[in-house]
Amino acid sequence: MPVTIEVRNPRNGKYDYVIIPPSPKLLSQQCSRLRKARLRWLSIDLDGRIQALQQWRKALLDSKKSLVDALILDTGRLDLSTYEVNSFLAAIDTWCNFAPKMLKDSQHKTAISSINLQQTAVPYELVGIIGYWGFPLLSVIDLIPALLAGCTVIVKPSEITPRFMAPLVKALNLVPKLRDVLTFVEGNEETTINLLEYVDFICFTGDLETGRNIAEIGAQQFIPVCLELGGKDPAIVLESADLELATSAIIWGAVVNSGQNSFAIERIYVAESIYEQFYHQLIAKANRLQLAYPTLESGKIGPLISIPQATKIEAQIENAIAQGAVVHCGGRIEEFGGGLWCLPTVLTEVNHSMEIMREPTLAPVMPVMPFSTIAEAVNLANDSIYGLGAAIFTNSETEAAEIASQIEVGTININDAAIALVMQEGESNPCKFSGIASSRTGTGALTRFLRQKTILSKTKAVKSPWWF
């Protein structure tokens, strides 16, 4: 009898959706079908691939409401579900515009006058993409550049948020050329592990433990692995900062999507001279935010999506309080209408012995800690095994540049927070345990799906330079 997975609705706590993971045999057959379609996908050239993606975009636009509704069921929030769909549609346009400029062969002379060099690229045959529950649709956005590069793609959404897959597939079925080279499969962590046996390249967004397992198996399989894992993003607020701007930006970066994203601000370090003024402003703004309950329109703070994560959040807050942290607002997980909710929480009297300053929280929780010197602020920001992003608030360009050059993360925000959530430009690589990957944005987001190939051609009948 096949294993079934019941999926919980985060707003009402009801288990109203069922997943039946595919058997290894069925998964193998799906991957074989994709591989057989690869040559046809390549034969239509880039223009044909762009046309197919644009047809899918139109079908998704026509069924936008059903996709937004499915994401609402998955995540329990309204505005960000619409944002995810709009961003996905915009990304198709962006990559379709970028791809022709990036996917060009080049030919030039070499240092040896009789040898010409042609640089070309060959796409990986089959790319596997594993999604994350915080942003279900945007976490699988890698499928767009992979398809444009000429790869075939299999996508497994998180088993916590799988409902959005149905409207995607329904629209996909209207584009036969794309349907043959892109497929979606529901499943659990075992499905992810099985999938590694059949793909040539894997993209994973999620937690450190699972990412470590995927990296180990990928190494055994000798396949490239792109991992975007947890973050513990710090914000540094210097004495010269505009406090109104800093508190507003930080609270947005900390509570957007109820903090359930890897780029959330999770640690805040403030210059001693403005520390009390800062956290009082932060508390006042936090207290004005409302839960999206009883209706989706009631507020901006959605429910916690993952029960295991909610348990971790509660344990982190309790651990901090037990060690002397002071809770100024929020501070607990509450149940309303069957859903689990966390009001924006501001903590002071925190330190790095507390789990809440070391481990990903993925909640609208803002621990605030003072510093006396810039060197201390940099050391505190770098005192983490994670290195995804950071934010710096100052009116001094010199200070901003000095600190940015020292913080060990892939993305730095100056006088704003979590900008990476709203733009796909620029390239960055995660540091430390936040991942191992080519950039998911900028040129690298497409070129990582290509193997580089060099063709060396002799142009003159000249004697070989060697002894023969």
Report pLDDT for 467. Answer: 45
pLDDT of residue 422: 64
Q: How many CA atoms lie within 13 A of 369 on its CB side?
A: 26
Helix intervals (H) in 242-344: 243-255, 275-288, 307-322
pLDDT at 462: 59
Cα dist from 2 to 5, 187, 337, 372, whole Å: 10, 12, 32, 59
The amino acid at 216: E
Report whether pLDDT(376) > 90: yes
pLDDT tens figures, 215-253: 999 999 999 999 999 899 999 999 999 999 999 999 999
Q: What is the DSSP string of 124-144?
A: -SEEEEE--SSSTTGGGTTHH
d(CA 380, CA 237): 12
Residue 163's nearest CA partner among 31, 6, 342 is 6
Residue 468 pLDDT level (bands cut at 50, 70, 90): very low
What CATH topology corresponds to 5-229+434-455? Aldehyde Dehydrogenase; Chain A, domain 1 (3.40.605)
Domain made up of 233-421: CATH architecture? 3-Layer(aba) Sandwich (3.40)
Q: What is the mean pLDDT of residues 412-424?
A: 80
Residue 159 scores a pLDDT above 50 = yes
CB 162 within 8 A of CB 191: no
Residue 460 — very low, low, confident or very high, per pLDDT cuts 50/70/90?
confident
The two structure tokens encoding residue 329: 């607002």
The larger pLDDT score, comparing residue 185 to residue 427, is at: 185
- Residues 5-21 have a mean pLDDT of 96
Check whether 465 has a pLDDT greater than 60.
no
Q: Which two tokens stand for residue 320?
A: 């901090």
Q: In this structure, what are the phi and psi dihedrals at residue 267, rounded to the nearest 5 degrees?
A: -145, 135
pLDDT (0 to 100) of residue 463: 61
Within 181-327, residue ranges assigned H as helices are 189-195, 208-221, 243-255, 275-288, 307-322
**Model pLDDT for residues 345-367, shown as the tens digit of each residue:** 999 999 999 999 999 999 999 99
- Calpha distance 41→289 (Å, rounded): 49
413: left (phi over 0), alpha (psi -120 to 50) or beta: beta
Query: Is pLDDT above 80 for 461?
Result: no
C-alpha 410/C-alpha 382 separation (Å) is: 12
pLDDT tens-place string over residues 54-83: 999 999 999 999 999 999 999 999 999 999
Check whether 45 has a pLDDT greater than 80: yes
If pLDDT is split at 50, 70 and 90, which confidence band does 112 have?
Answer: confident
Confidence at 121, pLDDT banded by 50, 70, 90: confident
So where are the chain's domains?
Answer: 5-229+434-455, 233-421
Range of weakest confidence among 303-312, 395-404, 423-432: 423-432
Instruction: Please provide the average confidence, as pLDDT, over all residues in the chain.
Output: 93
> What does the alpha-carbon distance between residue 404 and residue 132 come to, in Å, rounded to a whole number?
29
Contact (CB, 8 A) for 344 and 302: no
